[in-house]
């Protein structure tokens, strides 16, 4: 990425197409036909997609976009697994030494695929992320900052697109200072509802998250690669009374209006509910962030 270059503002959303009965953990992926159906729904409203891993799902998404001639630009994500134990993770971040070593090997293979696909689809992939939420204190896939730097440097040496790293806003306020000179832009996540904010306080909280990172790193473009609102909760991490479709509609409308006014690139989280995520409880909030339900029916936010 040339000095001073920026990613253009566009209408962007996070896309993971796993339907009921499918999951990356089980190795059961959406078909190209299912992905084509999803993209047909999304292409009339969204200009850009964020993808999370260099797996079969992403490979098929890129193929469908290419074959169908959709205008989508894609943030290609490389998923990096734990290279370090994290006893602070509430749901388990401890691994054997052999597993950590194997993860490091897989992470390097992931970077190789990311570079390969970015170069294969330069007309589609316009930015590449070297990982997702791998340095924040609660993650179950903790990766040392130096490893992230190494992955970013590898990508920058092998592709022409800008390179970033997607992370909660907090690590960007000091912990990741050593990484900042290596990325072309900073990608932050902001979730007011996870931090016990009501919908009426949510946009101001998001704005402060953004501004706090911008103040610390004024010479970097700051984008938001995840922001959204859960439509259901069993109380795990999000009070049930703060979740709902009415609240989602209010926050999303306010968020996207602010983003458009300020020309801030925001990838809304997310396109579709994913019932494979989180616990088995049907109201687990991890399952309920989509603007469409898992059966592809639109939620209230999609109404005028």
Q: What is the pLDDT along the chain (304 residues), one digit of tens a residue?
A: 444 468 999 999 999 999 999 999 999 999 999 999 999 999 999 999 999 999 999 999 999 999 999 999 999 999 999 999 999 999 999 999 999 999 999 999 999 999 999 999 999 999 999 999 999 999 999 999 999 999 999 999 999 999 999 999 999 999 999 999 999 999 999 999 999 999 999 999 999 999 999 999 999 999 999 999 999 999 999 999 999 999 999 999 999 999 999 999 999 999 999 999 999 999 999 999 999 999 999 999 999 8
Domains along the chain with CATH numbers:
12-302 (3.20.20.80)
Please name the residues in contact with 82: beta carbons below 8 A apart, sequence gap of 6 or more: 93, 95, 99, 100, 103, 140, 141, 142, 143
Residues 6+ apart with CB under 8 A from 261: none
pTM of the model: 0.97
What's residue 304's pLDDT?
A: 86
Looking at residue 3, its pLDDT comes to: 42
Concatenate the DSSP letters of all residues of 163-187 into one string. Answer: EEEEEETGGGGTTTTTTGGG-SEEE
Residues 135, 25: Cα–Cα separation, whole Å: 21
CA–CA separation, 112 and 104 (whole Å): 13
Contacts 24+ apart (CB under 8 A), 64-70: 64/32, 64/35, 64/36, 64/39, 65/39, 65/121, 65/124, 66/121, 66/124, 68/36, 68/39, 70/39, 70/43
How many C-beta atoms surround the C-beta of residue 249 within 10 A?
Answer: 19
């Amino acid at each position: 990425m040339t000095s001073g270059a920026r990613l253009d503002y566009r209408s962007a959303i996070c896309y993971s197409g796993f339907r009921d009965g499918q999951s990356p953990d089980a190795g059961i992926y959406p078909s190209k036909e299912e992905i084509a159906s999803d993209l047909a729904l999304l292409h009339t409203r969204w200009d850009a997609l964020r993808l999370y891993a260099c797996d079969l799902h992403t490979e098929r998404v890129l193929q469908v976009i290419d074959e169908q001639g959709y205008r989508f630009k894609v943030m290609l994500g490389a998923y990096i697994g734990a290279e370090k134990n994290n006893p602070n993770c509430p749901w388990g971040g401890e691994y054997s030494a052999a597993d950590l070593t194997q993860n490091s090997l897989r992470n390097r293979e992931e970077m190789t695929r990311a570079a390969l696909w970015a170069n294969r689809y330069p007309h589609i992939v316009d930015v590449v992320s070297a990982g997702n939420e791998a340095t924040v204190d609660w993650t179950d896939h903790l990766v040392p900052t130096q490893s992230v730097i190494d992955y970013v440097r590898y990508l920058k040496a092998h592709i022409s697109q800008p390179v970033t790293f997607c992370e909660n806003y907090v690590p960007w306020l000091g912990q990741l200072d050593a990484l900042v000179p290596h990325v072309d832009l900073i990608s932050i996540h902001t979730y007011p509802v996870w931090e016990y904010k009501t919908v009426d306080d949510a946009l101001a909280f998001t704005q402060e998250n953004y501004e706090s990172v911008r103040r610390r790193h004024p010479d970097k473009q700051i984008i938001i690669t995840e922001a959204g609102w859960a439509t259901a909760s069993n109380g795990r991490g999000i009070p049930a009374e703060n979740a709902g479709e009415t609240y989602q509609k209010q926050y999303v409308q306010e968020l996207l209006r602010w983003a458009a006014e300020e020309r801030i690139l925001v990838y809304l989280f997310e396109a579709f509910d994913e019932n494979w995520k989180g616990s088995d409880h049907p109201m687990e909030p991890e399952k309920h962030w989509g603007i469409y339900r898992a059966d592809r029916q639109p939620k209230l936010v999609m109404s005028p």
